[in-house]
Amino acid sequence: MSTVHDKGYKYLFSNPLIVKELLQSFVSMDWVHHIDFTKAETIDKSYVTDQYKEYEADIIYKLYFKESELYLYLLIEFQSTVDRFIAFRMLQYIMELYRELIYKHKCRSLPVVFPILMYNGDKKWTAPLSLQELIEVPPVLKQCKPYIPHFQYYPIIENAIDKTTLHSMMNVISTVFLLETGDAEEFFKTVDRIRELLHIYDNEPLLLRTLLYWLVQYLQSHGMVEEKSIILKAIEQPQEASTMLSRTLEKIKKDLRKEGFNQGVQVGIQKGIQKGMKDGLLRGVTRERINIAQKLLKHGMDDRSILKITKLKKYQLDEIKKDKKK
């Protein structure tokens, strides 16, 4: 799943208009509104080490602000765990960028690099934002403080953004965040929102293609579409692709509701329907939720997404997976 997710995000942020939305929507600084995104240049390079390629991706842009230039370094964390030392690792990556600017491009002075950490996991983000917080300075060495390296990244933590705020933004990046952090009902609402976006961006075919491509990758990574090649081929004609994808989304929506992603299931859960359940670990879990979990497992969906959709406990999902192997 990580490779698909990485590929989708790489394509998403290959469009400078999406980067513009990200900065202007979530970075509270004046300069983001004065960047000339028509001159934005993507840097075809990754500094993520092999050890972390499965869990994160980086996107680098060279941006122009009036008479100055700066680099945007965007690191996207896919792993659900929180790495306490992420500030240290990001600094390593940025130092590699600076090293190339010095030795390969013969820069006489170094440009500003603005580091953004984007996290789409479920857990609360607790990692320190600065390198200084990771360095313990005992009282007897307090005179050394001015000489400790200073580095801080700008956090965009998806699960910490208020849903009302996201709903108030009718753009691509807020829609991506809603899909990433929402539950089943949020998915239904976002399906309708995507159809609205297809009309809003009717005169922006490149932006529309970017959204469609990311969405197809997202649906595939979550086991919601098995055959994506037809839609991907149609993406070169956004109008045709949007019609096809709109139908696909509506079908997914209906299928999920048939499987019980509706208020009726919640009522059923509250009534404690236990017919056909295993004793012990699965006691209290409705047959609908077991069926849903089994179907999603069959489609190859990852455990984290299944747990979010079905509201099962991890030990309950493990029991269903164990029972499936028999």
The predicted-structure confidence for 215-260, as pLDDT tens digits, reads as follows 877 777 766 666 555 556 555 665 566 666 667 667 666 766 665 5
Neighbours of 239 (CB within 10 A): 12
User: Among candidates 242, 240, 247, 185, which has minimal Cα distance to 208?
Assistant: 242
To 10 degrees, what angle do helices 184-200 and 238-258 make? 160
Q: Please report, for residues 69, 105, 219, the alpha-carbon distance to residue 260 in angstroms, rounded to integers and kept in the order given.
A: 52, 58, 19
pLDDT at 260: 54
For residue 172, give every residue at least 6 positions away whose Cβ sits within 8 Å of its Cβ, in sequence order, or none: 12, 18, 21, 197, 201, 207, 210, 211
pLDDT band at 326 (very low <50, low <70, confident <90, very high): low
Q: Please report, for residues 24, 42, 232, 236, 247, the alpha-carbon distance to residue 209 in angstroms, rounded to integers and kept in the order given.
A: 21, 18, 9, 7, 17
pTM of the model as a whole: 0.74
For residue 47, give every residue at least 6 positions away whose Cβ sits within 8 Å of its Cβ, in sequence order, or none: 58, 60, 92, 93, 94, 96, 97
The SS3 assignment for 118 reads strand
pLDDT at 138: 95
Neighbours of 181 (CB within 10 A): 19
The predicted-structure confidence for 142-167, as pLDDT tens digits, reads as follows 999 999 999 999 999 999 999 899 99
The predicted-structure confidence for 99-155, as pLDDT tens digits, reads as follows 999 999 888 899 999 999 999 888 899 999 999 999 999 999 999 999 999 999 999
Strands, DSSP E only, in the chain? 41-43, 56-65, 68-77, 112-119, 154-157
Q: Give me the residue label for tokens 């320190």.
A: 128
pLDDT at 211: 81
Q: Which residue has the higher pLDDT, 68 or 260?
A: 68
pLDDT band at 1 (very low <50, low <70, confident <90, very high): very low
> Torsion-angle region of residue 112: left (phi > 0), alpha (psi -120 to 50) or beta?
beta
The gap from C-alpha 180 to its chain's centroid, in whole angstroms, comes to 6
Q: What integer best gives the mean pLDDT of the chain?
A: 80
